[in-house]
Amino acid sequence: MFIRDFLQPWHLILLLFLVAVIIAIVLIIRAVSHSGGRQQPQQEGYPPPHYGQPPTYYQPLIPPENDPATTLARAKAMLDQGLISQAEYDDTKRHVLAKMQR
């Protein structure tokens, strides 16, 4: 009897509304957590994003440590600093150029 006297019609409406709001919040949180919080629009001509690694169209074709220009620039800087001799620089340059022609 006490519960029936306590619950007015507007109490029931408020209770149903609060339950609906809580369910909506839970569903929104679940959807955001499953998508990683990232909503990226799909652009035509691009593959879908891969979240563990950058897409291949952003990766350089030659890794920087194997890039001939980078290798020659490092060798030239070492020559200018006096860390290697002119003969060592020439050997490195000859080796890099031969490697490029293969």
Domain total of the chain: 2
The tokens 């035509």 sit on which residue? 44
Query: Is residue 50 in some structural domain?
Result: no
pTM for the model stands at 0.39
Query: Is residue 41 in some structural domain?
Result: no
Query: Is residue 47 in some structural domain?
Result: no
Instruction: Tell me which amino acid residue 53 is.
Output: Q
Q: Which residues contact 61 (CB under 8 A, 6 or more apart)?
A: none
Predicted confidence (pLDDT) per residue in 54-70, tens digit = 556 655 565 666 788 88
**Over residues 25-50, mean pLDDT:** 68
Angle, CA of 6, 7 and 8, to the nearest 5°: 110
Query: Is residue 88 in some structural domain?
Result: yes
Query: Is residue 26 in some structural domain?
Result: yes
What's the alpha-carbon Rg for the chain, to the nearest Å? 33
Domain span at 76: 61-102
The tokens 């490092």 sit on which residue? 74
Query: Is residue 2 in some structural domain?
Result: yes
Q: Let me know whether 67 and 100 are in one domain.
A: yes
Does residue 45 or residue 75 have the better pLDDT? 75
Contact indicator for 78, 84 with CB cutoff of 8 Å: yes
Q: Let me know whether 32 and 65 are in one domain.
A: no
